[in-house]
Structure 1
Amino acid sequence: MSKPKITVIGSINMDLVTKTNTIPKVGETVLGESFFTIPGGKGANQAVAAARLGAEVTMIGCVGDDAFGSELKNHLTAQGVSMENVKTIPETSTGIASITLSNGDNSIIIVSGANHFVTPEVVKQHEHIIAESDIVLLQLEVPLQSVIEAVQLARKHNVRVILNPAPIQKLPKELILQVDYITPNEHEQEMLLSRNDMTDEELIQVKEKCIVTKGSKGVMLYQNGETFIQGYKVKAVDSTGAGDSFNGALAFSLSNGAALKESCQFANAVAALSVTKLGAQAGMPTLQEAEEFISTR
């Protein structure tokens, strides 16, 4: 059986993680418990999640000409992600996310760095890779015009697209209507549906594309009426990357031919497992681990 081919176009970051009992208020200084550097970025996280499960994953993105860039390329290659199409940008820093962890929750500041150089031209150069994919997985940590270009190329070659609309921003309605699946959280869904540039029929189309993530509670689907899919209760250590784990697992399962509801159930389990360890990518399970977890629940 051939591996599903998933192309991820998106961000590659180094996460700079500070763990503390108290998140400081404006103007306040507090003592932290520990500090880590951990590979991250929504694009890279989703690529690792799919690769760990057994997909053939190609990453399209950019890193800077610095120590973080070299480290991330080596790390992602070791995780089974093809990095042949990731460009190193001279005299540019690799993207970073400054993350503060406190009591199992997080706050994040992102600096795009080399991710800004994932231009529409870069995406066009990889049309042949998009054309050979089972699914293209996208987020919004690279320029919006590049996301639009990727969707147009995927539609041209009849390749399914999953768009994770995070960090949320105003999106052209043509983009939203062209993707196959959208994976917002509840806040992002509200922004997607509170538009005055769409007809009622178009808003219904958008809602039916939505797979709304509700954290540990589960997900809500709107195809053929509302369907709530229960999540899994686990002891959370670090919620960073849970949504990315869900998206990578969803792409993997759909690419393997599973139905949407079944794919969401599987993605829920993968996301639940991912929060039981520190670091966005460290907790992402293998297919065997995910199947064993599901079998015990």
Structure 2
Amino acid sequence: MSTEPSGIVVVGSINADLVVTLERHPQPGETLLGRTMTVMPGGKGANQAVAAANLGARTTMIGAVGQDAYTVVALSGLHAAGVDTSAIQRVGTTTGVAIVEVDDGGENTIVVIPGANAEVTPELVAASAETIADAAVLVLQGEIPATSVAASVALARGRVVINLAPVINLDRATLLRADPLVVNEHEGALVLAQLTGSDPSDPADHADHADHADHAQTTRALLACGFASVVMTLGGSGALLASATDLLEIPAPTVQVVDTTGAGDAFTGALAARLSAGDSLADAVRVAVLVGAFAVGTEGAQPSYPSLTDQLPAAPTTSSITTGQETDA
């Protein structure tokens, strides 16, 4: 094992995405005719690994797939991006599947069937202990068991990026290793509730620390819980970065939205790639916002991610919320 951490290790989910396009999303009890269905590689972990590798980061994926017809598809994007897949184990169950509905406005709904992702156990993680310890950046999400997230964090010597999506119950010590914690506005409120014992559905419960409608207050409140840094993604509005020295609003460029599937994963993968390359957190978030904006312009998750040869959208100006001053993005 090398003395200095290097590269990115992603411990997380690997899925096949069944992407259905339709005019609008059905109401409860309603049957609609869809337009198309495409099977693509997906899973939040695999998506983030592909996004990072596409941007030139040396990336290793740790996870599990089944031995069914979806396995080849689920692994195809990782292979194409040059991700090291030698630590992925094949288990005796089905490969994870996500059923994605995308409407004419590019908005999606997703139902995830974990399959083999539920078999990413602490023992499976421990089999790659040296690989995890040697990573400059360890990336985790919420689509594998909480015990395995904790086991991964315990092995890490480098920087830990936790994209807690979906929000699962992690012990406080594990959660606070995130630098940054990456969440959207809804996930941020849930994590805050998890750490403070408040009710995320009751605005009165957040009066002293965060308002659901005030994303800056939520990021500040999360920082006050003990995080070194928090990045809150805001979809087409960009992202907020909170750290001990910064509270920055980083806007997204205006782009035509085709499909938002996997855009948040593109963001997290790009963030990890730039951090592993030595960028400051603020600069890494700026690049990640542009990568996320690029990703919504094409159908699917992994097929929409840019490579080093793609032209990213132009960056808008970044605002410092704490001072109100403008800084050159």
Q: 1:202: how far off? A: 8.2
Q: Percent identity of the aligned residues?
A: 40
Give SS of 1:122's match: helix
Q: Tell me how far apart the structure 1 counterparts of residues 8 and 314 of structure 2 sit (CA, whole Å).
A: 23
Query: In structure 1, how many angstroms separate the alpha carbons of the residues matched to 2:228 and 2:142?
Result: 21
Tell me the distance in 1 between the aligned counterparts of 2:248 and 2:315: 22
Q: Which residue of 2 aligns with 1:185?
A: 184
Aligned residue type for 1:286? S
Amino acid at match of 1:214: L
CA contact 1:69–1:88 (8 Å) conserved in 2? no
Per-residue displacement from partner, 1:93-119 (whole Å, max 9, x unpaired)?
Answer: 100001111121000100000011100
Q: Give the alignment of 1:199-214 within 5 angstroms.
A: 204-206=224-226, 208-214=228-234
CA contact (8 A) 1:131 1:159 kept: yes
The alpha-carbon deviation at position 207 of structure 1 amounts to 5.4
TM-score (norm 1): 0.92
Distance in 1, matches of 2:57 and 2:136, equals 10
| 1:6 shift after superposition | 0.6
1:18 aligns with 2:38: no
Answer yes or no: is 1:215 the counterpart of 2:208. no
Tell me if the contact between 1:212 and 1:220 (Cα under 8 Å) persists in the aligned partners: yes
Query: Contact 1:62–1:117 (CA<8 Å) still a contact in 2?
Result: yes
Instruction: Report the RMSD for the aligned CA atoms in angstroms.
Output: 2.2
Contact 1:176 1:206 in 2 (8 A): no
1:9 to 2:29 alignment: no
Matched residue of 1:108: which SS?
strand
What corresponds to 1:282 in structure 2? 303
Q: Secondary structure of 2:139's partner?
A: strand
Q: Deviations over 1:24-68 (max 9, x none)?
A: 112211111111111100000001000110111110000011121
Q: What amino acid is the match of 1:261?
A: A
Matches within 5 A, 1:84-95: 84-90=86-92, 92-95=93-96
| 2:143 aligned partner | 141
Q: Distance in 2 between matches of 1:202 and 1:296?
A: 26
Q: Whole-Å Cα distance in 2 between the matches of residues 9 and 227 of structure 1?
A: 29
Higher mean C-alpha displacement, 200-209 vs 44-53: 200-209
Q: What's the offset of the Cα at 1:197? A: 5.6
Taking the aligned partners of 1:39 and 1:242, their CA distance within structure 2 comes to 14
8 A Cα contact 2:78 2:85, kept in partner: yes
Q: Where do 5+ consecutive residues of structure 2 fail to align?
A: 1-5, 199-208, 210-220, 318-329
What's 2:196 paired with?
196
Match of 1:248 in 2: 269
1: distance between equivalents of 2:128 and 2:315?
39
Partner of 2:282: 261
Counterpart Cα distance in 1 of 2:184 and 2:74: 28
Please tell me whether the aligned partners of residues 192 and 222 of structure 2 are also in contact (alpha carbons under 8 angstroms). no
Structure 1 stretch displaced more, 186-195 or 99-108: 186-195
Look up the match of 2:80.
78
* 8 A contact 1:221–1:228 mirrored in 2: yes
Q: How high is the TM-score relative to the length of structure 2? A: 0.83
| Deviation, structure 1 residue 222 | 1.6
Query: Which one-letter code corresponds to 2:31 in the other structure?
Result: T
Give the secondary-structure state (helix, strand or coil) at the position aligned to 2:310: helix
Compare 238-247 and 179-188 and name the one that shifted more. 179-188
Q: Which residue of 1 aligns with 2:3?
A: none
Distance 2:251 2:80 in 1: 33
Kept in 2, the 8 Å contact 1:47–1:81? The answer is yes
Range moving further from structure 2, 238-247 or 16-25: 16-25
Deviation at 1:22, TM superposition (A): 2.2
2:36 to 16, 34, 47: 34
Three-state SS of the structure 2 residue aligned to 1:59 is strand
Count, aligned residues: 289
Q: What displacement does 1:169 show?
A: 2.6
**In the TM superposition, what are the counterparts of 1:135-174 in structure 2 within 5 Å?**
135-154=137-156, 158-174=157-173
2:146–2:168 Cα contact (<8 Å) kept = no
Distance 1:73 1:22 in 2: 30
Q: Distance in 2 between matches of 1:202 and 1:113?
A: 32
Q: 1:239 aligns with which of 250, 260, 275?
A: 260
CA distance in 2 between counterparts of 1:124 and 1:67 reads 28
Residue deviations 1:190-233, cap 9 Å, x none?
122233369x9986144552100001111111212421111111
Matched ranges for 1:56-75 at <5 A: 56-75=58-77
Unmatched tracts of structure 1, length 5 or more: none
Q: What is the aligned partner in structure 1 of residue 101 from structure 2?
A: 100
Contact 1:193 1:206 in 2 (8 A): no
